[in-house]
Chains A and B, each alone.
Chain A
Amino acid sequence: MSEHHIVMPKTYATVLGCLFVLMAATIGASYIHLGSTYNLLLALFIALCKMSLIVMFFMHVKYSSKLTKVFAASGFFWLIIFFTLLFADYMARHLSTSPFAGSPYGG
């Protein structure tokens, strides 16, 4: 007989309430002008909070084994690596001078 954790309706309802609050927060934050970069970071931060709530409670990861947690995190972890490598390229493309200019490594 399996001992799988049963998440209670009250927990699900609380999470749904938090998701509504965060949705209101992300819409509200878009009307506050912090500069496009900070607005973007704030929107991403709120989206990450919503994602964590969904993954932890709706998707039962909080109650799962460590190995499942690793699997759940792996996709997002690889995504961070991809984004880092991608932007290391794109953000450096418009540099007018190479940071290596004048060094023995060329420029």
Chain B
Amino acid sequence: MSSAEAKADRSPYLAHHFESIEQQEESCTLGMWLFLAQEVMFFGGLFMAYAVYRYMYPDAWLEGSGALSIKIGGINTVVLLVSSFSMAMGVYYCQIGNSKNLFRALLVTLFLGFVFVAIKLKFEYFPKFAEGLFPGDGWGPHGHYADLASFGDQGALQIFFFLYFVMTGMHAFHMLIGFVILVVLMVMTKQNKFGPQRFMPILFFGLYWHFVDIVWVFIFPMFYLVT
């Protein structure tokens, strides 16, 4: 086969430095999982800090967890799990070449992501900011959280809420990044950039979104369900 023939034979989606679509997909998939392994390490560090302090201050964990609403946390878990499902459906619609439904699936995913962050801010972060549950100089539980003020070790309680804000905050920050990428993917979907031949960007964003979901799967029982 001459080089001109070989060139004509290549899929327009195949980058010049790959031999075949399969090789290209495998390389990209490994790269994405390498990035996710790095993310596991990043959140792993936070979970290790969590584990050490929970081990050192079990009473503060019990007390602090009691101030978090299982109902709100549970609702947000459902919202996030459904958004993961809609994202997975997006990958399916992309693979079968249904751009219209792919766009809808991405829109639903984005909407549910917004709902998650809105619930988090409105019912969790803002009341805690207002009633002295933010660690640091402004610390001083009052209002709904007045019970916490009588707990003996306020320092340990602050560590619990410090980790709560850092870990749920980092999780929410990952979702905000996801929103930006989702909007870009939705615009590209409208431009017919994706289809059965080119679904890797959708699949990889899905991997990221599901990873963020997994982080929440651990955060939820570790903060809300301490017994």
Contact = CB atoms under 8 A, between A and B. Distances in A.
Interface of A: 1-4, 6-9, 12-13, 15-16, 19-20, 23, 26-27, 29-31, 33, 36, 39, 43-44, 46-47, 50-51, 54-55, 57-60, 64-65, 67-68, 71-72, 74-76, 78-79, 82-83, 86-87, 90-91
A29 B29 CA distance: 36
Given A27-B70, A83-B48, A67 B227 contact: no
22 contacts: A6-B96, A12-B88, A20-B81, A27-B74, A29-B225, A30-B226, A43-B225, A46-B221, A47-B221, A50-B214, A51-B218, A55-B214, A58-B206, A59-B210, A67-B30, A71-B34, A71-B37, A86-B52, A87-B55, A90-B55, A90-B56, A91-B55
Contacts of B58: 36
Interface residues of B, number: 56
A26 B221 contact: yes
Given A8-B92, A30-B227, A68-B33, 17 more contacts: A6-B96, A12-B92, A16-B84, A20-B81, A26-B225, A30-B221, A31-B227, A33-B227, A36-B58, A36-B227, A58-B213, A65-B29, A67-B30, A72-B33, A75-B44, A79-B44, A86-B52
Interface stretch (B20-28, B106-114, B118-126, B127-135): B20-28
